[in-house]
Amino acid sequence: MRKIRKAVFPVGGLGTRFLPATKTVPKEMLTIVDKPVIQYVVDEASEAGIEHLIFVTGRNKSVIEDYFDAQIELYSTLETRGKKKDLHHLQRIQPGPGTTSFTRQQEPLGLGHAVWCARELVGNEPFALLLPDMVMQASKGCLSEMIELYHETGGNIIAMQECDPQEVHKYGIVGKGHVVANGFKITEMVEKPEKGQTTSNFYINGRYILQPEIFRIIENQKYCLGNEIQLTDSMLDLARSEPFYGFHFKGKTFDCGSKRGFIEANVAFALSRDDIRDQITAPLAALLKETTTRN
Ligand code: G1P
């Protein structure tokens, strides 16, 4: 079985829901507490043993490339000022030389197309795909758990979670079949179903392990929903010739592409931090009480 060494991060989206901030700051660089959204997702990949990070960017996203570069001047200033803790932290999360690649999705033609743009960098091996809008909080990373399952099943794996049945139209929805190892066989996949199109409320939460055959399928894929190339359509096609499993992730997922998810993530991560929790619990409780009384 081939090891999952590479991870693809599609970071080309415009982030219009966060205007005006995203006029100049990519949505992936907005901070949850004190770390950019993208760092949380990269940390999850690193924890899972990913060795090479592939970013599919777009125009006005070069700050992401700068962010993952070494900041030699900053490091030496921190050293001179004796800020060892900050320096070590930055050095610890710094990707090594040659372990990042950047390519551009020249036009916003959908998730399937963004993934396809990474085909030359991925090459002929299975890879992980992490959608940076989805930030997870769990004692063990979602991708780590998926890779454990992959070691038992091989094939393709999609992480899934339950959503409010009223919200299935926002996501890719999968059907949960019989148990295989720590996962499930996938019975159906439908992208942003209309009412009545599915009975499942298991949504694709933005983490995938895919075989390289997906690229050839995307290449022949027709433009579909929203005049985009949907990854889900290509996965459906691939599922005809290769096994697809679902991993039921039990941690928390914050959809940071929405204001609600982004704000929730900020509060949840702040409350999970020993250095911040005590400072914010009382003011947060007071704010909530004030709001409830007012309304
Ligand atoms: C994409 C996928 C969808 C998935 C979702 C998770 O949709 O196409 O299957 O459920 O991400 O965030 P998008 O959010 O790009 O519309």
- pLDDT tens string 71-95: 999 999 999 999 999 999 999 999 9
User: What's the mean per-residue pLDDT of the chain?
Assistant: 94
CA gap 134, 132 in Å, rounded: 5
Q: Alpha-carbon distance 164 to 280, whole Å? A: 30
Q: What is the pLDDT of residue 292?
A: 85
pLDDT in tens, 178-191: 998 888 999 899 99
Spacing, Cα 77 to ligand 1 middle (Å): 41
Q: Name the nearest CA neighbour of 204 among 217, 221, 188.
A: 188
Residues with a CB atom less than 6 Å from ligand 1: 111, 131, 133-134, 171-172, 191, 203-204, 206, 231-232
Confidence tier at 227 by pLDDT (50, 70, 90): confident
Q: Assess contact for 124 and 215: CB atoms under 8 A.
A: no
Nearest C-alpha to atom 15 of ligand 1 is from which residue? 111
CA separation for the pair 142, 32 (Å, rounded): 19
With a threshold of 0.85, does the pTM exceed it?
yes
Per-residue confidence band for 228, with pLDDT thresholds at 50, 70 and 90 = confident
More confident of the two residues 159 and 226: 159
Q: Does the pLDDT at position 155 exceed 70?
A: yes
| C-alpha 109 – ligand 1 centre gap (Å) | 14
Structural tokens at position 177: 């079949």
174 CB burial (10 A radius; 0-12, 13-18, 19+): buried
Q: Both tokens of residue 232?
A: 């889900």
- Give the model's confidence band at 198: pLDDT under 50 very low, under 70 low, under 90 confident, else very high: confident
Q: Specify which residues 247 forms β-bridges with.
A: 159
In the predicted structure, residue 195 carries a pLDDT above the cut 90: no
pLDDT at 136: 98
Pick from 99, 96, 38, 98: which is nearest to 63 by CA?
A: 38
Ligand 1 centroid–CA 133 distance in Å is 9
- Given a cut of 90, whether residue 248 has pLDDT beyond it is yes
60 exposure class (CB count in 10 Å sphere: 0-12, 13-18, 19+) = middle
Instruction: Give pLDDT, residue 236.
Output: 93
Q: What is the mean pLDDT of residues 12-39?
A: 94
The pLDDT of residue 225: 64
Q: Whose CA is nearest to atom 5 of ligand 1?
A: 171
Beta-bridge mates of residue 128: 7, 209
Q: Which of 28, 129, 170, 171 to mutate to test the pocket of ligand 1 (most atoms within 8 A of CB)?
A: 171
For the CA of 172, the nearest atom of ligand 1: 9
- Tell me the average pLDDT across 147-172: 95
d(CA 119, CA 280): 45
DSSP string for residues in 215-266:
HHHHHTPPP-GGGS--HHHHHHHHTTTS-EEEEE--SEEEETTSHHHHHHHH
Checking if the pLDDT of 295 tops 80, the result is: no
